[in-house]
Structure 1
Amino acid sequence: MAYLKEKFLLSCFVIFSSLLFSVSSRGAVYRPPTVEQLTDRFPRIPFTQGMSTLFGAPNVHFKSNGSYVDIILDKNTGSGLISKNKYYHGFFSAAIKLPAGFTSGVVLAFYMSNADIYPKNHDEVDFELLGYSKRRQWVLQTNMYGNGSVHTGREEKVYLWFDPTQDFHQYTILWNNYHIVFLVDNIPVREVVHNQAISSVYPSKPMSLYATIWDASEWATNGGKYPVNYKYAPFVASLGQLEIVGCSLQKTNSSTNSTTSGCLKNTTVSSLDPVDGQDYAKLSKQQIDGLNWVRSKHMYYSYCKDTARYKVMPAECNAV
């Protein structure tokens, strides 16, 4: 009888443990919490409809009538895409499958920027996936600049809870007047709340969406200690499930004028911003739980804890 009781308790423990984490070649990987699938709310479009080749045209390969695209880094060049329009606020998402193997120094960036228009006071919102030599594991870095505040790096880094080289995973930026939310597979990994402490450096001007792969040997791994090894090239990143929904900035007939389509900025008239309103003003209880899960189990660097770098912390780090 005691043996049967012990066996029953052991079985319960195994079942309970399997709900918390799974085991792979990368060790224990905790199962993420359930969250709302925000990416189901917006339509997917072909890359050929929403984006154009930015550089490295021979290394940009559109597939499935433009629904998917490979962007490639080899010894000759990297490659990249840029959105056909600029956007003020919106929801920007793509599913990405990263190169496998030894990828030290390789960076895949999915980000928004207006540096081409405002070189001295540009805004930027970044996902940067950093190829890494340690454990041969990709690292996710997020960052944000507003109004040219590049002297203050606002990086945060997390280890992913899955192998990003085995399948597609969704990387999403939600940007509105309330906050900027970085999401991975719909789980928030970071929230930048638009409050008084950060208001002066909060992105405020229309931006383009970019997807690029390039050689970041000089800084991406221990200050360039482990450069890209082109023996393992080409490095191929595959992208799909593109969603670009925002207030698009359309050029008028005059080369000096532009209009913001679908978004009424700085007026009292109700906005047509697709991520305006209470549904997108703050995180839900599920999303807060997901954010806390990522930050407690997977985040290993935050600029707000880097006292060696900042003797006086940026104002938002001290905001309640």
Structure 2
Amino acid sequence: MAFAQEELLILSLLIFSLIATVSSRGAIYTPPTVPNLTNRFDHVLINQGYSEFFGHSNIRILNNGSNANLILDKSSGSGLVSRSKYNYGFFSAAMKLPSGFTSGVVIAFYLSNADLYPHNHDEIDIELLGHEKRREWVMQTNIYGNGSVQTGREEKIYLWFDPTQQFHQYSILWNSHHIVFLVDNVPVREFAHNSASSSVYPSKPMSVFATIWDASEWATHGGKYPVNYQYAPFVASFGEMEMEGCVWNPKISAASCPRSSGLSSLDPVEGQEFVKLSQEQINGLEWARGKLMFYSYCKDTSRYKVLPPECKA
């Protein structure tokens, strides 16, 4: 059936509007170009760099140690822990997250020393929070220093891609100058080490962890949507693991930290390009925070009558 001229005009306007909307979203969700830090370090075989943390039966080591699937089902979650502890460094993992109804599921890549300092521990967290139907995954970052767990330093962002379709890189840079969280090499948060933050800045050796677990009590809208095991098993895939930095040796001071490989000038602990963000990285950070961040503890005046000092620095 032929369209009348008026109907064709309306249809053309609708198509043009759709194209414009898609183009606009593409511009919003295309990050600026940034340095490819993850290309500068060697990958670590998972079965060599990590040990089982928990959930033995739900850990699958694949491709001769290059990849691992961590599984959450009704019996257990699962996790890996690095064989070495680190004073500082660059830590990264490529992850592909489970799709579908994943409320209450948390996939985490983080640093912690709770085993060594149970009452005064440090922690640097990337937590990917599952979602109820038709909702997006959320990435939460958090920092604890010297047991400062009563003052959560959470920030939350939406991702600019579907993390269930392919692998994406999630990275942590931690040195004496700053902590930087990156997604596909784009900085999404920087926590500077200065006089305002020094008392809560992570400073003791930490292990690297990769886990999947049931966080029904808090993860999705404060626990409103618990894990629904009808959709289990939930599988998080890991690969391209990187751990480069100061390997902790209790007999050697951190000041003379030997790095985990013989890299010459590429030093994430004190190397010049890791001391501060480049202009390209600053552009990426401003883009991510301006477009995608929807919660920061520094803006939560209902939670804090007096904001933590680093918020005012």
The TM-score with structure 2 as length reference comes to 0.88
- Give the equivalent residue in structure 1 for 2:210: 211
Structure 1 unpaired stretches of 5+: 1-10, 23-27, 251-256, 266-270
Matched, 1:198 2:197: yes
What is the correspondence of 1:99-118 to structure 2 with a 5 Å cutoff? 99-118=98-117
What is the correspondence of 1:55-94 to structure 2 with a 5 Å cutoff? 55-94=54-93
Of 274, 279, 304, the match for 2:298: 304
Contact 1:104 1:132 in 2 (8 A): yes
Counterpart of 2:134 in 1: which secondary structure? helix
Q: Between Structure 1 and Structure 2, how many residues are aligned?
A: 293
What is the correspondence of 1:9-24 to structure 2 with a 5 Å cutoff? 18=23, 21-22=25-26
Q: How far is 1:274 from its partner?
A: 3.8
Q: How far is 1:246 from its partner?
A: 1.2
- Give the equivalent residue in structure 2 for 1:167: 166
User: In structure 2, what is the Cα distance between the partners aligned to 1:149 and 1:40?
Assistant: 34
- Give the equivalent residue in structure 1 for 2:138: 139
Q: Which amino acid aligns with 2:298?
A: C
Cα 1:260–1:211 shift into 2, 3 Å: farther
User: In structure 2, what is the Cα distance between the partners aligned to 1:16 and 1:133?
Assistant: 25
Cα 1:134–1:200 shift into 2, 3 Å: farther
User: In structure 2, what is the Cα distance between the partners aligned to 1:317 and 1:283?
Assistant: 19
Counterpart of 1:182 in 2: which secondary structure? strand
- Give the equivalent residue in structure 2 for 1:5: none
Of 281, 285, 289, the match for 1:287: 281
Q: Deviation string for 1:177-215 (max 9, x for gaps)?
A: 000000000000000010100001100001000000000
User: In structure 1, what is the Cα distance between the partners aligned to 2:223 and 2:25?
Assistant: 34
Q: Deviation string for 1:43-85 (max 9, x for gaps)?
A: 1121011111100011000000000000000000000000000
Q: How far is 1:153 from its partner?
A: 0.3
User: In structure 1, what is the Cα distance between the partners aligned to 2:190 and 2:29?
Assistant: 21
- Give the equivalent residue in structure 2 for 1:51: 50
Counterpart of 1:289 in 2: which secondary structure? helix
The TM-score with structure 1 as length reference comes to 0.86
Q: Which amino acid aligns with 1:207?
A: M
User: In structure 1, what is the Cα distance between the partners aligned to 2:248 and 2:303?
Assistant: 37
Q: Deviation string for 1:112-135 (max 9, x for gaps)?
A: 000000011100000000002263
Q: How far is 1:263 from its partner?
A: 3.9
Q: Which amino acid aligns with 1:277?
A: G
Structure 2 unpaired stretches of 5+: 1-15, 259-264
Q: Deviation string for 1:209-245 (max 9, x for gaps)?
A: 0000000000111221110000000000000001011
Of 252, 257, 261, the match for 1:259: 252
More strand by share: 1
User: In structure 1, what is the Cα distance between the partners aligned to 2:187 and 2:59?
Assistant: 29
Contact 1:248 1:262 in 2 (8 A): no
User: In structure 2, what is the Cα distance between the partners aligned to 1:114 and 1:16?
Assistant: 47
Cα 1:122–1:67 shift into 2, 3 Å: same
CA RMSD of aligned residues (A): 2.4
Contact 2:247 2:257 in 1 (8 A): no
Q: How far is 1:275 from its partner?
A: 3.0
- Give the equivalent residue in structure 1 for 2:3: none
Contact 1:106 1:228 in 2 (8 A): yes
Which is further off, 190-199 or 134-143?
134-143
Q: How far is 1:30 from its partner?
A: 1.6
Matched, 1:233 2:232: yes
User: In structure 2, what is the Cα distance between the partners aligned to 1:35 and 1:72?
Assistant: 33
